[in-house]
Structure 1
């Protein structure tokens, strides 16, 4: 079934991430309501019990999915990622809402720390769930690691776009004039778009990696779906979102580094797709043209 180290490390990452986001929610609710210095012991214990209950529910659901799936590791990975990210994004939605309604001066360090935590924990959990280190032979392991690099970069891209919703941007500004930002409907659209990408794209990648590593599977591989989804949803749509925020709304939170990454990845993927299309057409010509002299000799011998 699923290796024990993979289960233990993924459990540690999920519980620690949930606990830190819960602390953010407690700090926001307590300081925003009555100005109390911090959450009490009982509130932290209640939140910890909630995380333990979530872990138990996740354990039973993952066990049920593992027993029904063709590949136990793939079923466990998809179930854990789907449930964990659903609850995490629900909590992040309230974190963003509380930061938007906050009346205190913004704390940029706390917000950037949340972004740093998510940018480490989510890609780490994805890499743990793939189980690339347990794959054999070595050529297969290197191929999987090369494909995982693109998935991790896409995860960081989406997290950077979503982190602009809770990092410090508004407030009084330098001269008491509030800075211009995205309207609330646009921020909600960006949040749920990033939520859908973080929820679905890693599951597609995990499913494709699990399907190609099933024991006893032979025959030609199907063309991967993830590169095309990444091309459209990451390199085109997020490029349009960042370009609109920078040019139309003059949003200072737009990451020009990831904007350049989207342009570069778009050019690389389109050129790779074109080269593959040319090679496929050239392969057809190589297959058919050498048969012509053989056919002529056979026809002459028949005559």
Structure 2
């Protein structure tokens, strides 16, 4: 009886173990199935992501292509606008020049065309650098306006003490010049001399009318000896002025003699010295002073025997016609 009961207990235990094993196996199988399904889901997402990347790349490429095309169109549009603006400006300049020339009975409209606006660099006969930047010529860093080197028609003083607001001005001059001028005028006054600026800045358009009036009165050849053509006048630079009476008599006055002997101390030079017509292209003007700074002015003073900027730098002052 006891053996039979033990046997049944053992059998019951076996059955329980089998059930537990079966349950465990089922649980493991379920876990495996879940794992497999989860793994497949991950792979599916990865594949979908892999497929999406090229699509995005293509979109980006298309966007870049569109941006490039738009930029290209914008550049072309700006170039066309610049070209159109340049043509309009040239047309305006030529139109103004033609009108001014007709009023002066001068048929050569190129006289008033100003500089070519092309940058260039060369060396003078005395080894000084000649640079043309935006139509403005500098020799050894000094701005030059004469018969050879002209200014653009729209050029105005670059650092005026008083902004340019009119075609003529005795105050819209270089601020360094004005400071030197006030010192010189005060020193002259302390000696009982009266010097004053009679004419200074003149615009291109003002010079057109002035020059043409001289041509109408005296003829072009004569006018060219004492008056500058538009664009070639130093008065347009804002770096020079005419004193007092603006005639030959000034040089024989006490003021004229003092200016001749002392202006270099303040950075001014007699721009068109006596006997230097062949260099400057203009007759002697005792009243016309140009600011160049003390160092250069002293060299041009030459111990009382004034030399011209053209002589010193080894440059010319001749019109092309």
For the superposition of Structure 1 and Structure 2, which TM-score range results when normalised by the shorter chain?
Answer: under 0.3
State the structure with more CA Rg: 2
What is the TM-score when the length of structure 2 is the normalising length?
0.24
**Between structures 1 and 2, the one with greater strand share:** 2
Identify which of structures 1 and 2 has the higher relative contact order when contacts are C-alpha pairs closer than 8 Å and 6+ apart: 1
